[in-house]
Chain A
Amino acid sequence: MTTDTLKIADKTFKSRLFTGTGKFSSANTMREAIIASKSELVTVALKRVDLENKSDDMLVHLNQEHINLLPNTSGVRTAKEAIFASELAREALQTNWIKLEIHPDPKYLLPDPIETLKAAEELVKLGFVVMPYIHADPVLCKRLEDVGVPCVMPLGAPIGSNKGIKTLEFLEIIIEQSNVPVIVDAGIGAPSHAAFAMELGADAVLVNTAIAVSQNPIDMAIAFKMAIEAGRMAYNSKLAPIKNQAEASSPLTSFLNDLN
């Protein structure tokens, strides 16, 4: 069995499952599920934590050596707000990693591509490792790459929807064209969705709702871990080609054998 690691900026990850901290029934359940998932990158909404308080419940529960915190800017509506929030996070959490989420629409939480590109460019200049949450837009991915982001995070379906990989056609183009890791960020509702994303060649997936809201978040976290490992291994082993039609029993070109 071969395993390969994922490198983003200065960090190397053994796990290709990134997780979130929202929607859990308690901080303890969140902690146990995240530990069980073996995830090494965990995103946390700045608006949910008290940056001035070292004993903030969520931060205390995530204080594990192997867990890297990835603050996110959920709640901001503009590039300006995102930059301000990122600087606060960098200072308070001692990390220059930021998950850039700018969704001015509070209903479907769909990312604003224009503000995201603007903010990404500025944040890269300010020395941040920027992980942008975006639509599955191949052109936007290339534009973000140009301004120096170390990865892109296109959505599979609207965030929290659990609908799976609805943006398949565009994700395939993004994966084909990208020079930076592609992390499928939203919409993954089942381990099979995650395995599918990995088989397509995604470098990692981020899962939160599907784990947090399940009846047994710890087992579900393990199920996702296994699915992602399976998907990655299948991708590396090259899937056998899909045959769209059966081989004809009366071939049309066999007469050529007689002629040659």
Chain B
Amino acid sequence: MSFKHTFETYNWDALEKEIYEVTAQDVENVLLKEKIELEDFKTLISPAAKPYIEQMAQRSNAITKKRFGNTIQMYIPMYLSNECQNICTYCGFSMDNGIRRKTLSDAEILKEVEYIKKLGYDHILLVTGEANKTVGVPYIKHAIDLIRSQFSNISIEVQPLDQEDYETLISAGLYAVLVYQETYHKATYKTHHPKGRKSNFDYRLDTPDRLGKAGIHKIGLGALFGLEDWRVDSFYTALHLKYLQKTYWKTKYSISFPRLRPHLGGLDPKVEMTDTDLVQLICAYRLLDEDVELSLSTRESETFRNHCIHLGITSMSAESKTNPGGYSVEPESLEQFEISDERNTEQIKQMIQSQGYEVVWKDWSKSYVAVH
């Protein structure tokens, strides 16, 4: 059994219809409930719930404070490679983009780490494209081995892997894996991923199951907003989350909210997601789940990020570079996408503190992994 079985019992069009037919009365009924369930999540992300956004935000704020306190966890991405054998219509690293390809050497990785450590980070996210010959499991494992002594918490956002591969990486010290389905609309998925291993929708869909079976500490989920209707995609993401929480109950989960950003050879979003929409979604997730980590990257603007701290967000990156070597090795090379919030780490830290929140750099001990 895997999520695929659950997934196949739902129908995209039927869900879309349900979500768009929600009434104000439905929203008011749900907001009176103490426990918000998956069915209620549909109501909270519906257009009908938009006028209730302040009420949702107040509740999200209170729940988040109770569970996570007055804190924001910081992390930073480090791109290891932009080599990629997939064609993804929206991505700057897509195989058919004529950019110069680069994979960091050991010395370059260490140079980037040296720069990142000076900024204060202790949780790092390693990112690659999908190039199995040069940036396969051995490369990723080697990179983890190389940097393990310098970070308490190492996550990856790379191609989906087999369960045994995840087991190998977990015993090397891997804490979390981020794997976004991009869209749960199978036909649209095929359109945007016409070539390469990523074109296999089902293999990607069951990746969190393989991670759960491998015993990973944390799985990050999300949909790429812009490819399809964000409401239906978010319902599927929430469905995925609830399925995983029940099945792999020892694993933590996080949700990210990537919206399509401009990049070279870029794609215009099919369905626009406004800032109000995104706030509504963040709050809806928090009302559905008190414990899920909600993460907001530098894709979002300064003003938006400043305010989202109070709305349910629990972790943030800052000063991110989305090109391999972007911090110190080759600052000028081509990015995967342009970030929006360009403030440096110190500025973000001060912004968070000035709003009465503590910046958390370290919230894991690598010694917990060393036992196995």
The answer for the CA separation of A88 and B152 in the assembled complex, in Å, is 15
The answer for the CA separation of A161 and B122 in the assembled complex, in Å, is 29
Residues from chain B with Cβ under 8 Å of A105 in the complex: 249-250
- A88 and B367 contact, Cβ closer than 8 Å, known pairs A25-B357, A106-B252, A213-B65: yes
Asked if residues B362 and A50 are in contact (CB atoms below 8 Å), the reply is: yes
Asked if residues A84 and B371 are in contact (CB atoms below 8 Å), the reply is: yes
The answer for the CA separation of A173 and B205 in the assembled complex, in Å, is 49
Residues from chain B with Cβ under 8 Å of A107 in the complex: 245, 249, 291
Judge if B251 is at the interface, Cβ distance under 8 Å.
yes
Candidate in B68, B69, B251, B368 with the most chain A CB atoms within 10 angstroms: B368
- Give which listed residue, A23, A81, A84, A88, contacts B71 with CB less than 8 A: A23
Asked if residues A85 and B368 are in contact (CB atoms below 8 Å), the reply is: yes
The answer for the CA separation of A47 and B362 in the assembled complex, in Å, is 7
Complex: chain A residue closest to B250, CB-CB: A104
Chain A positions 46 through 66: 1 when the CB is less than 8 Å from some CB of chain B, otherwise 0? 111110000000000000000
Residues from chain B with Cβ under 8 Å of A46 in the complex: 365, 367
- A47 and B66 contact, Cβ closer than 8 Å, known pairs A77-B250, A80-B371, A106-B291: no
Judge if A75 is at the interface, Cβ distance under 8 Å.
yes
Chain B positions 168 through 202: 1 when the CB is less than 8 Å from some CB of chain A, otherwise 0? 00000000000000000000000000000000000
Chain A residue total in the interface (Cβ 8 A): 32
Judge if B14 is at the interface, Cβ distance under 8 Å.
no
Judge if A209 is at the interface, Cβ distance under 8 Å.
yes
Judge if B316 is at the interface, Cβ distance under 8 Å.
no
The answer for the CA separation of A213 and B67 in the assembled complex, in Å, is 9
The answer for the CA separation of A217 and B224 in the assembled complex, in Å, is 40
* Nearest chain B CB to A51 CB, angstrom units: 8
- A47 and B291 contact, Cβ closer than 8 Å, known pairs A23-B70, A25-B356: no
Asked if residues A48 and B363 are in contact (CB atoms below 8 Å), the reply is: yes
Interface residues of B in 323-372 (CB under 8 A from A): 353, 356-358, 360, 362-365, 367-368, 370-371
Candidate in A46, A48, A104 with the most chain B CB atoms within 10 angstroms: A48
Q: List 24 A-B contacts (CB under 8 A).
A: A22-B69, A25-B70, A25-B357, A25-B358, A26-B353, A26-B358, A46-B367, A47-B362, A47-B365, A47-B368, A50-B152, A81-B371, A84-B370, A88-B367, A104-B249, A104-B250, A106-B291, A108-B291, A160-B66, A160-B67, A162-B66, A209-B66, A209-B69, A213-B69
Using a CB–CB cutoff of 8 Å, the interface residues on chain B facing chain A are 65-71, 122, 152, 245, 249-252, 291, 353, 356-358, 360, 362-365, 367-368, 370-371
